[in-house]
Amino acid sequence: MKGRLIILLNFWFIGTMFGQDSLRIMYYNILNFPGESPGRVYDLRKIINYSEPDILVVNEVLTADAVDLILDNALNVFGRTNYAAAVFFDGPDTDNLLFYNQDKLGISHQVQIPTGLRDISEYKLYYKQADLGPETDTIFLNLYSLHLKAGSGHFNQRKEEVLVLKYRLNDIENKENIFVGGDFNFYSGNESGCLALRETGDVTLIDPINSIGDWNNNASYAYLHTQSTREAALADGSGGGMDDRFDLIFCTEDVFNNANGLTYIESSYQALGQDGMRFNDAINSPYNPTVPDSVADALYFLSDHLPVMMDVKTDRTASIQRNKLEDLNLCYYNAVNQTIYLKNHVINGEFLLLDLSGKVIFNQMVSNSNQIALKKELKPGIFIWQLTESSRKESGKIAVID
């Protein structure tokens, strides 16, 4: 598929709600989640309520149950209903997952990229500006989530995993607004994997704060360290205090010069809760003046890593047309595998896809699933989908744009 945008909009719209013209992107290793302590989701809730990311990309998800656990208990709480999740893929070892603010963003497609250890996840999002339609260009964001091999003796393996990503970036058609983040386990910005990430291939990746150095156990980089939030190890994770910059976000040059609709907001890049006074100490002790005590404690208990985040702005305005938020993003089409994914699980229903003349071009009974595999790729155009299950009926449009 070459630069094709798939937009799914629901019928019965009344009114328009305008959002902000900035986006907050957060990457976070949430440590073998949910593991033996699913109650850690309430720590995540405190962190989300404080930081309010529009895009949350997490590492170390263990099970599909974590998707609903996070959505229902950390994101869509206290009256919020605007967060949605990408499709969870249970790959080797632990997994990545992306959540997004569907008031501002939609998901166009996602791809799993296998490496020798864990999958790299690719997510393509689009920005929902007010005039978005079948003939309107939009802003795309290409996000990649990595969790590279840990350990000081595995430099070569991290480099090999990075090169898998760089070959993928060479192949993609539209190399715009690329964000590459996660838990890289780099001990230094000068180790071979980090050099390969930044300098090899067709796509150059940039540290937004230009702070490449020998980070490991170096007090000069205390303001950048993201691991460990704890002096002593808890039941899971590492101790030792803050002395490594494992968690980073890299991005392409266009994010800094507004070449493709986004601009980095100066000084917005941060490791949440890092005040530069944590070297070999915990994130919540001694007193941390940068976040409320409850958030410092949540950062301590949720994970041995800190989340890293950055803000970007656009000169366009997001909009939502709706009668209720929960009607949005009921399904989306993945052009890579010609599959439509439904937000709601269907026990027994009928799915129809029609063209604008009302002609049925595809129909299928759906039983105990949320996926509909099409027989071929949808060509550019506007289609109508309908789902009927018992007394429930939903419908919307799919706009596929080259």
Q: What is the pLDDT of residues 80-127, one digit of tens each?
A: 999 999 999 999 999 999 999 999 999 988 999 999 999 999 999 999
Question: Is residue 295 left, alpha or beta, with left meaning phi > 0 and alpha meaning psi from -120 to 50?
Answer: alpha
pLDDT the model gives residue 375: 77
pLDDT at 239 over 50: yes
CATH of the domain at 341: 2.60.40.3080
Question: Is residue 130 left, alpha or beta, with left meaning phi > 0 and alpha meaning psi from -120 to 50?
Answer: alpha
Spell out the residues 6+ positions from residue 126 whose beta carbon is closer than 8 angstroms to its own. Answer: 5, 7, 105, 106, 107, 108, 138, 139, 140, 141
pLDDT band at residue 288, thresholds of 50, 70 and 90?
Answer: very high
Residues 268 and 365 in one domain: no
Where a domain ends, among 279, 313, 347? 313
Q: What is the DSSP letter of 59?
A: E
User: How many structural domains are present in the chain?
Assistant: 2
Residues 302 and 337 in one domain: no
Residues 273 and 395 in one domain: no
Residues 257 and 380 in one domain: no
- Percentages (nearest 5) of helix, strand, coil residues in the chain: 15, 35, 45
Q: What is the pLDDT of residues 26-46, one digit of tens each?
A: 999 999 999 999 999 999 999
Query: Are 273 and 212 within 8 A, CB to CB?
Result: no
Q: What is the mean pLDDT of residues 255-270?
A: 94
CATH of the domain at 220: 3.60.10.10
pLDDT the model gives residue 330: 59
Domain extent, residue 267, equals 22-313
Q: What is the mean pLDDT of residues 297-316?
A: 95
Q: Which residues pair with 129 in a beta bridge?
A: 318
Residues 265 and 339 in one domain: no
d(CA 154, CA 116): 13
Q: What is the pLDDT of residues 153-170, one digit of tens each?
A: 999 999 999 999 999 999
pLDDT at 396 over 90: no
Indicate whether 325 belongs to any domain. Answer: no
pLDDT at 17 over 80: no
d(CA 364, CA 31): 40
pLDDT band at residue 399, thresholds of 50, 70 and 90?
Answer: low
Distances (CA, A) of 301 to 40, 290, 295: 7, 17, 10
pTM: 0.76
Q: Which of 119, 120, 136 is nearest to 128 (CA)?
A: 136
Residue 307: cis peptide before it, omega within 30 degrees of 0: no
Please identify which residue in the block is written with the tokens 């002790």: 285
Higher per-residue pLDDT: 218 or 19: 218
Average pLDDT, the chain: 87
Residues 286 and 339 in one domain: no
Phi and psi angles of residue 155, each rounded to the nearest 5 degrees, phi first: -60, -45
